[in-house]
Chains A and B, each alone.
Chain A
Amino acid sequence: MTAASVCPIARAEATNHGRLVAGLCLIVACAFVGSLFVGYAGLDVPQAIADALRGAQTLPAIVLVELRVPRALLGCFVGFSLGLAGAAMQGFLRNPLAEPGVVGVSGAAALGAVIAFYSGLSTLVPLALPFGAIAGAIFAALLLFALVGRGAGTMTVILAGVAINSFAAALTSLALNLSPNGFSALEIVYWLMGSLVDRSLPQVWLATPFMLAGWILLLTAAPALDALSLGEPTARSLGFDMTRVRVRLVVGAALAVGASVAVSGAIGFIGLVAPHVLRPFVGHKPGRLLFVSGLGGAALLLLADIAARLLPIRPELKLGVITAMVGAPFLFQLVYRLRREA
């Protein structure tokens, strides 16, 4: 009897989940196309696509391929990385505030990228940029996991985040001040707030392999995260090696977030908002939340990037400003709710 009654529910749940994924994919696809159409110069996008497909080096084709497409692709990939990493970290730490930006992983990645870029290392070896950012992210993630541990209080997570973030920001500022290039000192805003202005195809090739590796590591941790939601002893009894899960999550999050920050600066709140909004739709299952949070993050970042170009503010707003406008109220609400629960 139970089997007969559970199965339709499970099936209904699967269909609902399928619908949710399909709906999110549709939103991401629309936002991606929208991102191609939005810009500062009147560009005949269909004509540009036709030219680009013919291999004709017309001006519209060059603008589409060299500017609009890399920007939209990176918006999509960086958003996916941040949303996914946020959901994974929240699932593992069992804390809804664990987000790459809030806990300082993004900030430390920006520090790593800044050191690699302004020392001139990435001019010699382009790979130094993502490597630097990933190293910074790994360092911060290890520090966070060591400081906080699983199931730690929200206060501990926030305090660890404040400590890592402010230290990373101070060192980033120091690194930029030491640069002999006169423009560098003003560029801290980009690294701390993030932007997708004038991205290029080489940057897409540079970051995407690392993001992909990070996604695979994080998405395959879904069963472990589901088991973990039943408590660590249960998860262990189900055969999950907690140390390996931890390593997989630290490396996965560092790859995804580090590679993202290397090409777009530290964009906050995506990893907070996407899982928070989508959690009720996946029955609060941390494993299922992963992929949909990635999609949600991609949609969110693409839309924020479209807004940055449509808003009549020049030079255009940094993406972190827009995501903070959307995300900060969520953070306040979470903090308030957690306080009441405490």
Chain B
Amino acid sequence: MRPAARVAFAAALAAASPVAQAQDARPKRIVSINQCTDELVLRLADPDRVASVSWLSRDAANSNVAALADRVPVNHGLAEEVMSHRPDVVLAGAWSSRTTIEILKRLGVKLVEFDVPRTLDEARAEIRKLAAAIGEQERGEAMVRAIDAGLAALPSPKPSLRALVMQPNGFTVEKGSLVEDIMNRAGLENLASRVGSGGYLQVPLEAVALQQADVMILNSEAYGAPSLATAALDHPIIKALGRRLRVIALPPKLWTCVGPNLVDATRSLIARTRGAEAVTR
């Protein structure tokens, strides 16, 4: 906190208004050990209150908040690192190390865990829950309003096109996921939801090829280094299918985590399936 701000803060405290007392109770050393909670905490809290975020958030190719993450220390989700920051509150996700979480619980650290949101409504709820955990309810509400306004400004294309998302290792996005909700909002029907139910599903390439999709969304991290998992998306059959359907690449960072980027993902999907004029109208 800059000295001037500190003086102002002290003055506010001296006034001893109920609001000032409530602000005083806000956690000062917030540690996040999950890339998605990183994104929200970096957008909602002032940097001086963020003690540490996960190292993944510094990778600009896969994080929307890499510039913000550069300004705070990073952790690798290990209990020892987390404790060294003497956290007031630790934010963890569904994929965070269970070992770390068990240790933190045993040490009596205030821990707030977040599930993976499966719909836009759950995404809004996650923003509000995280904002409440760090005492930034107003900024949380503002973010939700901004997302709603952004989505409301986009057209609702009809009729819906049949689409299939391809991720590294042949995984696709299945029924009941946030990504599917965004696809529906962008006028795309998720073909994978016909195959099974719940979560993410590994689909063999030949099943993908025979699905008769209108659109294929290649959803691959930009690692800049090769792996078999990502090489599967370069299979010549995808090029061969490209003559029959529209293949578009969308970086997963746009819709993996909750934040204003969800609007960008929706806009990008509409623009690239219906033409750029569809979103500028």
Interface residues, chain A, CB within 8 Å of chain B? 39-43, 57, 59-60, 62-63, 66-68, 117-118, 120, 122-123, 179-184, 186-187, 190, 197-198, 200-202, 314-315
Cβ A40 vs Cβ B243 within 8 A = no
Question: A35 CB to closest chain B CB, in angstroms?
Answer: 13
Cβ A200 vs Cβ B235 within 8 A = yes
Question: B118 CB to closest chain A CB, in angstroms?
Answer: 23
- Complex Cα distance, B223 from A187, in Å, reads 15
Cβ A200 vs Cβ B206 within 8 A = no
How many residues of chain B have a CB within 8 Å of chain A?
28
**Besides A120-B226, A183-B229, A187-B229, 13 other A-B contacts (C-beta < 8 A):** A40-B207, A43-B206, A62-B237, A66-B236, A66-B237, A67-B209, A68-B206, A181-B226, A182-B221, A183-B230, A186-B229, A197-B204, A200-B237
What chain B residues lie within 8 Å of A40 (beta carbons)? Answer: 204, 206-207
Cβ B221 vs Cβ A122 within 8 A = no
Task: Identify which of B204, B227, B244 contacts A57 (C-beta below 8 A).
Answer: B244
Q: How many residue pairs at the A-B interface have CB separations less than 8 Å?
A: 90
- Complex Cα distance, B227 from A190, in Å, reads 11
Closest to B239 in A: A66
B116 within 8 A of A: no
- Contacts A66-B235, A200-B236; A190 near B224 (Cβ below 8 A): no
Cβ A187 vs Cβ B226 within 8 A = no
CB within 8 Å of A: which B176-229 residues = 202, 204-207, 209-210, 212, 221, 223-229
Interface residues, chain B, CB within 8 Å of chain A? 168-170, 202, 204-207, 209-210, 212, 221, 223-230, 232, 235-237, 240-241, 243-244
Most buried by A among B221, B223, B227, B237: B227
Question: A38 CB to closest chain B CB, in angstroms?
Answer: 11
- Contacts A66-B235, A66-B240, A198-B232; A182 near B206 (Cβ below 8 A): no
- Contacts A62-B241, A179-B227; A314 near B202 (Cβ below 8 A): yes
Question: A109 CB to closest chain B CB, in angstroms?
Answer: 16
Cβ A183 vs Cβ B227 within 8 A = yes
What chain B residues lie within 8 Å of A62 (beta carbons)? Answer: 209, 237, 240-241
- Complex Cα distance, B210 from A184, in Å, reads 29
Question: B61 CB to closest chain A CB, in angstroms?
Answer: 10
Cβ B237 vs Cβ A63 within 8 A = yes
Selected A-B contacts with CB under 8 Å, 21 pairs:
A41-B206, A41-B209, A43-B210, A59-B210, A62-B237, A62-B240, A63-B237, A67-B237, A120-B225, A123-B226, A180-B224, A181-B223, A181-B227, A182-B227, A184-B227, A187-B227, A190-B228, A198-B204, A198-B205, A200-B237, A202-B236
Cβ B209 vs Cβ A59 within 8 A = yes
Question: A241 CB to closest chain B CB, in angstroms?
Answer: 42
Question: A190 CB to closest chain B CB, in angstroms?
Answer: 6
- Complex Cα distance, B231 from A187, in Å, reads 12
Cβ A182 vs Cβ B223 within 8 A = yes
What chain A residues lie within 8 Å of B209 (beta carbons)? Answer: 41, 59, 62-63, 66-67
Closest to B240 in A: A62
What chain B residues lie within 8 Å of A41 (beta carbons)? Answer: 204, 206-207, 209-210
- Complex Cα distance, B221 from A171, in Å, reads 26
Cβ B226 vs Cβ A117 within 8 A = yes
Question: A118 CB to closest chain B CB, in angstroms?
Answer: 6
Task: Identify which of A190, A200, A201, A315 contacts B202 (C-beta below 8 A).
Answer: A315
Question: A222 CB to closest chain B CB, in angstroms?
Answer: 37
- Complex Cα distance, B236 from A62, in Å, reads 10
What chain B residues lie within 8 Å of A183 (beta carbons)? Answer: 168-169, 223, 227-230
Question: B110 CB to closest chain A CB, in angstroms?
Answer: 30
Question: B42 CB to closest chain A CB, in angstroms?
Answer: 21
What chain A residues lie within 8 Å of B221 (beta carbons)? Answer: 182
Most buried by B among A60, A63, A68, A123: A63
- Contacts A62-B240, A63-B237; A118 near B223 (Cβ below 8 A): no
